[in-house]
Amino acid sequence: MSERVKKTIFTEEMKKDYTILVPDMLPIHFKLIINILRTYGYKMELLQNRGQRVVDEGLKNTHNDTCYPALLVIGQFMDALKSGKYDVNKTALLMSQTGGGCRASNYIHLIRKAISSQFPQVPVISLNFSGLEKNPAFRLTVPMMIKLVYAVMYGDLLMLLYNQCRPYEINKGDTDKMLDKWQNRLAKLFEKNKFTNTTAHYRAILDDFASIERSDVKKPKVGIVGEIYVKYSPLANNDLNEFLISEGCEPNVPGLMDFVLYCAINVVNDASLYDKKTKLTLGYSIGYDVLYKFQKKQIKIIKEHGVFTPPHDFEHLRKCADKYINQGVKMGEGWLITAEMAALAETGTENIICTQPFGCLPNHIVAKGMSRVIKQAYPEANIVAIDYDPGATKVNQENRIKLMLANARV
């Protein structure tokens, strides 16, 4: 039997002087989220450490069959703890748990096992909405959860506008300055509890990004889908977003709210598939309806503004999925990857990169396995799967992408 790893609890006494390290997945969204949590008295820091040392630490502290996202998160934590930058006796780690399979629930146990031999005093905190773990000094209250939902919506909008402006900006750096301006402004709005007037804030954000001087040269749009961590994380995908912009493309990255809605509707779907409805089913059903209305409102305002292309409506994504795959296929990113590929292909983003991390079997099945039927339905679809693992070199990945871009159409 394997030895049980002792869990170090994050206590109220630790809250006032412990630094909580957060792995880097969505830089835009996570900066907003961290700023929100800081207003509740938590000292948060978004990790930016990258490079081969992070990969090496992951390899040393995980099993060689561990999936690449888990390896990187553990490697980033271990590299940070060993860097000398932090007092390991006053440092904690934060990891999200969504309640699903794979990384969504189990990474936190791998992290504890990895750090237990060298840093057993470091608490690992679970950020979850489903009661998987209870932390006495890190409770998600209703006001906190409401703010986090709004942060996801604002983060999705900023990411969308950044990708639609940055490739076309005439004055280099204008888009980054605008992003910084709104991240700072939103942090203040959250701190003052003035974040709920989304109609006014969305329009102000849209107006500001529309004011950026941009060229009207058409560039090929390239969709990015795949396993959630590798799809978004610059550490995991070797700055894929930045690379595509440098190659004269416009990245098209689905928002985080799609994944949140996906997690919620899967619980509702399960109740129907297995004929077992509970109070939890009702709660998730109500939550889904509320979040979907938030998304629809944002899409409506973007359409009314008329300058930028709005994201896909999640119910439309579900209809796209139903053409090719059952919504009961929900392990990992499940049917969502197929739906995103289909939605991108049918709306003009025919060039699609599917990010494939080592060890993520569900992702390979619903991505590589379903890309053929997407290509059959959309013959012009230009889909390529890029593998991300400790042995894959950045040069080989970028060469494969360049080969795909050689066939890209505007």
Per-residue confidence band for 362, with pLDDT thresholds at 50, 70 and 90: confident
End-to-end alpha-carbon separation of the chain, Å? 57
Do 247 and 387 belong together in one domain?
A: yes
Do 105 and 222 belong together in one domain?
A: no
Q: How many domains does the chain have?
A: 2
Q: Biggest alpha carbon distance in the chain?
A: 63
Last residue of a domain, one of 110, 138, 166: 138
Read off the pLDDT of each residue in 158-178 and give the average, rounded to a whole number.
Answer: 98
Do 119 and 239 belong together in one domain?
A: no
Do 353 and 243 belong together in one domain?
A: yes
Read off the pLDDT of each residue in 346-365 and give the average, rounded to a whole number.
Answer: 87
Tell me the C-alpha to C-alpha distance, in Å, between residue 349 and each of 160, 205, 344, 387. 14, 24, 5, 21
Residue, of 7 and 14, whose pLDDT is higher: 14
- Please indicate, yes or no, if residue 377 is contained in any of the structural domains: yes
- Please indicate, yes or no, if residue 259 is contained in any of the structural domains: no
Residue among 388, 393, 404, 383 nearest 356 (CA): 388
Mean pLDDT lowest among 48-62, 96-110, 131-145, 205-219: 96-110
Q: DSSP strand E in 159-271: where?
A: 221-226, 250-252
Q: What is the enclosing helix (H) or strand (E) of 394?
A: helix 394-405
Tokens (6 digits) for 52: 């081969």
Strand, coil or helix: what is 160? helix
Looking at the predicted structure, is the pLDDT value of residue 385 above 70?
Answer: yes
CA–CA gap between residue 286 and residue 281 (Å, rounded) = 9
CA–CA gap between residue 34 and residue 25 (Å, rounded) = 12
Residue among 286, 317, 237 nearest 25 (CA): 237
Cβ–Cβ < 8 Å for 67, 100: no
Do 128 and 226 belong together in one domain?
A: no
- Please indicate, yes or no, if residue 371 is contained in any of the structural domains: yes
- Please indicate, yes or no, if residue 301 is contained in any of the structural domains: no
- Please indicate, yes or no, if residue 210 is contained in any of the structural domains: no
Do 134 and 225 belong together in one domain?
A: no
Do 134 and 239 belong together in one domain?
A: no
Residue among 378, 349, 345 nearest 222 (CA): 349
Do 230 and 351 belong together in one domain?
A: yes
Last residue of a domain, one of 138, 171, 198: 138
Distance of CA 146 to the CA centre of its chain: 18
Do 43 and 131 belong together in one domain?
A: yes
Per-residue confidence band for 400, with pLDDT thresholds at 50, 70 and 90: very high
Do 134 and 228 belong together in one domain?
A: no
Looking at the predicted structure, is the pLDDT value of residue 131 above 80?
Answer: no
- Please indicate, yes or no, if residue 287 is contained in any of the structural domains: no
Tokens (6 digits) for 179: 């992003």
Looking at the predicted structure, is the pLDDT value of residue 3 above 60?
Answer: no
Looking at the predicted structure, is the pLDDT value of residue 184 above 80?
Answer: yes
Cβ–Cβ < 8 Å for 122, 111: no
Per-residue confidence band for 2, with pLDDT thresholds at 50, 70 and 90: very low
Q: How long, in residues, is the chain?
A: 410
The CATH number of whichever domain residue 395 belongs to comes to 3.40.50
Per-residue confidence band for 104, with pLDDT thresholds at 50, 70 and 90: low
Residue among 130, 184, 128, 175 nearest 154 (CA): 184
- Please indicate, yes or no, if residue 372 is contained in any of the structural domains: yes
Distance of CA 217 to the CA centre of its chain: 29
DSSP 8-state symbol, 169? B
Q: How many CB atoms lie within 10 A of CB 83?
A: 10
Do 237 and 378 belong together in one domain?
A: yes
Mean pLDDT lowest among 72-81, 147-156, 309-318, 352-361: 352-361
Task: Please tell me the predicted confidence (pLDDT) of residue 1.
Answer: 35
Highest mean pLDDT among 2-16, 89-103, 222-236, 267-281: 222-236
Per-residue confidence band for 338, with pLDDT thresholds at 50, 70 and 90: very high
Name the residue with tokens 């309806």.
Answer: 289
- Please indicate, yes or no, if residue 279 is contained in any of the structural domains: no
Last residue of a domain, one of 115, 138, 161: 138
CA–CA gap between residue 80 and residue 49 (Å, rounded) = 7
Range of the domain at 386: 218-254+312-405
Per-residue confidence band for 98, with pLDDT thresholds at 50, 70 and 90: low
Residue among 150, 351, 183, 346 nearest 252 (CA): 351
Counting Cβ atoms within 10 Å, is residue 310 exposed (0-12), middle (13-18) or buried (19+)? middle
Do 237 and 361 belong together in one domain?
A: yes
